[in-house]
Structure 1
Amino acid sequence: MSPISRRTLVFGGLAAAGVSALPVRSAVIAATAAVPYPFQLGIASGEPDANSVVLWTRLAPSPLNADGQGGMANADVTVDWQVSTTDTFSTLVASGSVTARYASAHSVHVVAGGLNPDSDYFYRFRAQGHLSPVGRTRTTPALGAAGRDLVMAFTSCAHYEEGYYNVYRRMAEDNPGLILHLGDYIYEYGAVAGRTRTHAGATEIVTLADYRRRFAQYKTDPDLQAAHAVAPWIVVTDDHEVENNYAGMVRADSTPSLTTAQWTARRTSAYQAYYENMPLRPAQANSGNSIPLYRRLRWGNLATFHMLDTRQYRNDQACGDGWQVCSDADLASRSLPGNAQETWLLDGLAQHHGTWDIIGQQVFFARRFNSSGAGSMDSWDGYRASRARIQQGWVARGTRNPVVLTGDVHRAWASDLKADYNNASSATIGSELVTSSVSSSGDGDGSTTIPDLATNPWLKFYNNRRGYVRTTISPTQLRADFRNVAKVSEHGAAASTVKSFVIQEGLPGLQAV
């Protein structure tokens, strides 16, 4: 793979957001002939708080090398980093050096501290005589302050083979202050002939080298790099970062055939590669075959983000997974997030730190039965007692503005959340916004006819195109714009807003705009 120009990345990734290119230094140009450009995977930031943010990069001059090391030698490398209030870096507010270690695929996670609340910053790295692209990030408002209105975009499900990342590019152009990714950042499948693009590797990924290489392939995409460079991200996994539809330590697939020890090793490799490739704090580093991803992030007193992990701790899907009419889904002993995470979530919802309590998670939350009364056992319909405990719990705790954000299903949906799904006239107690996918399931047919509406009258919107949700969050309302792109089979499609809703503070439910 030929080196990607730093200027190309900066202009391509941030020009639409108003970020100018970093001036080229003569020393950098002179060095490029001797050492290959190491920042092929771009840069990223994430996990902001009022005084710090995580800065990420990974050195990989040859990203698709089969050993997963990105063309780097078996040696540690010093990486310098800088943070400034301007994209010229004329004055630095934070800087330092960090070691990119061979054992961690030369990834770095810098916690840049000493920053001001509710402020915008620019950052960059330097290694082996090269400068990285420039990224923009921001801190949260101080605790107790609402700060500026927040533009937050969220999406999920970016199957590389099924389409181009037009959605990521359009998100970057919206200039958000925060991006949430709700899972399926990569897909584990082997290459399939005839798709829009092709995975590197003919067979399903299993080893640490496989997962590192797969992340590297996805991260070489300039549209994904643009979205990472424009704003801090908050991320959680779903299933495809490990294996389709797994539940805790239970596999849903039998291909490839793995022993218990091999499956444990696969999970360990997948979680290690995920941490290495995401702008996460050290507290989220994997420990063996688990990774501590459920966590809370406060955006001043405007919002609290409760990020759930609905894969690692769930009971196995009921009745063999799939769409079923299944009484086991009502068993009180079954939990989708696991009992400890349920308790953690309800404890957080009782704290009332922000106007909005935003629950970022992976699978469909509202009841969604088909005309035969069957529901998806992989979603909260397969864990109905667990869902009821959480909904009843936030009502009992006086949570005024709960909003559930969802990915996974490759379609956009919007729904009111009901106190009793067996009684459509029961109280509306919250709202769910479901993003479509970045590319998974291809172009789609554009339909906006809500499936099985008679069975689920609380459903308010549906769209079968790839896209994302752009929210604008203020102390008085949360506006959600459902954005889609006409095609992912061709590169460069524009985005349009298909439908918008508003949730008023203190008034649960979606109001069409």
Structure 2
Amino acid sequence: MVSVPSFILAVATAVYGTELLDRNLAYHSPFIGISDFSHDTRAIHARHVELAKRQTVNNEGFSDEHYPTFYGGDFSNAPFIWSGGVNFTHSVASGDPFDTSVLLWTRAVPASSTGPQPDQSVPICLSFKIFNNPQLSGKAIDSGEAFTSYDVDFTLKVEATGLKPDTKYWYQFADCINPKSVSPVGTTRTISSPNTPANRVNGGKPLTLAVFSCSRFQDGYFNAYGVAAHNVTPDLFVHLGDYIYESLGNGARIGRQVLGRELATIADYRQRLNQYRTDESLRFAHESGPWITVWDDHEVADQSWKAGTANSNDSTIGCGFSPSGSCFSDRKMAGVRAYHEWMPIRQVNVDDKLRIWRNFQIGKLLDAWDGYRANRNRILNHLYDNHIDNTIVLSGDSHANWVSDLARKS
């Protein structure tokens, strides 16, 4: 491990406390401020403090030979912050862009080595910087540090703020202990302010969206993500749902067998998201621009709704659908929590009942579409009455691409 004076690390932990935990939005997955459903960062910080006490209390007069620990009997070699190096296993991603902020994401796990690995009490400290140029030169527009740990599968999600509307940015993460250990550079952007006239959105150039849905790992390589990122270079990537599938499949013809079992527990969902994000094209697409995502059903299970799925509910029979024995409510919360850990998506409030729909007003360019008859009629009436003839409506989950003209009934 890298040798770092323990008093420096102890001071860092004591000074920042829960601030560096709270800055990582993954700890609030999926709800903000509800410790029963999100992580209690104060409790996690207390765990770190307890570790620090074990490092600093004078042990004269004690013999530790009968108290073997993960690091051995000598507590002096246990770090307050992990200092053994990190691996950025899944590159970087960004998402949910506003006109002055965007979310940045990465995952950093303890580096593989023959030496000891951190126990649950040791946080990893990461820094981030965002720039207005691909060389990452000059002063960073925004920067900061945050903790991650095993509690959130070593994911990190922070909000970069103070940005300019309709502007392209480049960002990178680094190990706080070793700033030379860095992630790949990601590209992102903000959207126009809500009051921007349509002809001035994106600097007057066409705004390009890459739209995806229904991506099942065992059925084929994710080449479509790569084609969009390499050849189309869209301004925004939009995923309409079924980013992952909970089902099993051996992918026999191409060797894309999914790991694990049918998803039920938090470990299951994390493993599946982990595997999906190893696809080269998907990883590059996440590096290439901000994503706006929404789930459908397979992010939890087939035909899922608030009270169950096609093969599980909260009855005795439903709780036994898989070897895990998970009831649906537990399965749902596991899927939603893992999704918010692994995706660059803004957290929701518990009062909104797992609401995931958000509003991204890109200047005066784009009408939200809710798909219900009364809403549709009001929208179409507005378009007809105001002679608006260039509206595009996006939807998904038909497993095909369709282009249709919408007409108002007289």
TM-score tier after normalising by the smaller chain length: 0.5 to 0.7
Q: Secondary structure at the match of 2:354?
A: coil
Aligned to 1:58: 107
1:254-293 equivalences in 2 (<5 Å) = 254=312, 258-259=318-319, 262-282=327-347, 284=348, 287=350, 291-293=354-356
1:169 maps to a residue whose letter is G
Q: Deviations over 1:386-437 (max 9, x none)?
A: x3212112234458465331222221111122334xxxxx6xxxxxxxxxxx
Aligned to 1:419: 408
Aligned to 1:153: 210
Q: Given that residues 188 and 205 in structure 1 are in contact (C-alpha distance below 8 angstroms), is that contact kept between their aligned partners in structure 2?
A: yes
Give the alignment partner of residue 362 of structure 2, picking from 294, 299, 313. 299
Indicate how the Cα distance of structure 1 residues 76 and 153 shifts in structure 2: closer, same or farther if over 3 A, else same: same
Indicate how the Cα distance of structure 1 residues 73 and 292 shifts in structure 2: closer, same or farther if over 3 A, else same: farther
Aligned to 1:394: 379
1:183, distance to aligned residue in structure 2 (A): 0.6
Q: Deviations over 1:84-108 (max 9, x none)?
A: 1122211211111011133222222
Aligned to 2:161: 113
Query: 1:170 and 1:262 mapped to 2: Cα distance?
Result: 40
Q: Percent identity?
A: 34
1:235, distance to aligned residue in structure 2 (A): 0.3
TM-score with structure 1 setting the length: 0.54
1:277 maps to a residue whose letter is W
Q: Secondary structure at the match of 1:40?
A: strand
Q: Deviations over 1:226-279 (max 9, x none)?
A: 101111110000111001112332322259953397110000000000100111
Q: Given that residues 267 and 290 in structure 1 are in contact (C-alpha distance below 8 angstroms), is that contact kept between their aligned partners in structure 2?
A: no
Q: Deviations over 1:57-84 (max 9, x none)?
A: 1224699xxxxxxx97523211100001
Aligned to 2:26: none
Aligned to 1:405: 394
Query: 1:112 and 1:190 mapped to 2: Cα distance?
Result: 37
Q: Secondary structure at the match of 1:150?
A: coil
Indicate how the Cα distance of structure 1 residues 258 and 195 shifts in structure 2: closer, same or farther if over 3 A, else same: farther
Aligned-pair Cα RMSD in Å: 2.8
Aligned to 1:98: 146
Of 272-281 and 36-45, more deviation after overlay is shown by 36-45
Q: Given that residues 80 and 95 in structure 1 are in contact (C-alpha distance below 8 angstroms), is that contact kept between their aligned partners in structure 2?
A: yes
Indicate how the Cα distance of structure 1 residues 134 and 223 shifts in structure 2: closer, same or farther if over 3 A, else same: same
Query: 1:394 and 1:111 mapped to 2: Cα distance?
Result: 33
Q: Secondary structure at the match of 2:393?
A: strand
2:396 maps to a residue whose letter is G
Choose between structure 1 and 2 for higher RCO, CA contacts under 8 A separated by at least 6 residues. Answer: 2
TM-score with structure 2 setting the length: 0.67
Q: Deviations over 1:146-182 (max 9, x none)?
A: 3323111111111000000110100101111111000
Structure 2 residue 188 is the aligned partner of structure 1 residue 137: yes
Q: Given that residues 39 and 61 in structure 1 are in contact (C-alpha distance below 8 angstroms), is that contact kept between their aligned partners in structure 2?
A: no
1:77 maps to a residue whose letter is I
Q: How many residues align?
A: 300
Q: Given that residues 76 and 106 in structure 1 are in contact (C-alpha distance below 8 angstroms), is that contact kept between their aligned partners in structure 2?
A: no
Aligned to 2:90: 41
Aligned to 2:273: 215
Q: Given that residues 124 and 149 in structure 2 are in contact (C-alpha distance below 8 angstroms), is that contact kept between their aligned partners in structure 1?
A: yes
Query: 1:257 and 1:124 mapped to 2: Cα distance?
Result: 48
Q: Deviations over 1:303-340 (max 9, x none)?
A: 2xxxxxxxxxxxxxxxxxxxxxxxxxxxxxxxxxxxxx
Query: 1:415 and 1:94 mapped to 2: Cα distance?
Result: 43
1:147 maps to a residue whose letter is V
Indicate how the Cα distance of structure 1 residues 393 and 62 shifts in structure 2: closer, same or farther if over 3 A, else same: farther
Aligned to 2:173: 125
5+ residue gaps, structure 1:
1-33, 64-70, 304-356, 366-386, 421-425, 427-513
Q: Deviations over 1:98-126 (max 9, x none)?
A: 11133222222211011111111100101
Query: 1:195 and 1:163 mapped to 2: Cα distance?
Result: 9
Query: 1:247 and 1:415 mapped to 2: Cα distance?
Result: 28
Query: 1:159 and 1:112 mapped to 2: Cα distance?
Result: 31
Name the structure with the higher helix share: 2
Q: Given that residues 165 and 223 in structure 1 are in contact (C-alpha distance below 8 angstroms), is that contact kept between their aligned partners in structure 2?
A: yes
Give the alignment partner of residue 200 of structure 1, picking from 259, 263, 266. 259
Query: 1:62 and 1:79 mapped to 2: Cα distance?
Result: 14
Name the structure with the higher strand share: 1
Aligned to 1:170: 227
2:92 maps to a residue whose letter is I
Indicate how the Cα distance of structure 1 residues 206 and 133 shifts in structure 2: closer, same or farther if over 3 A, else same: same
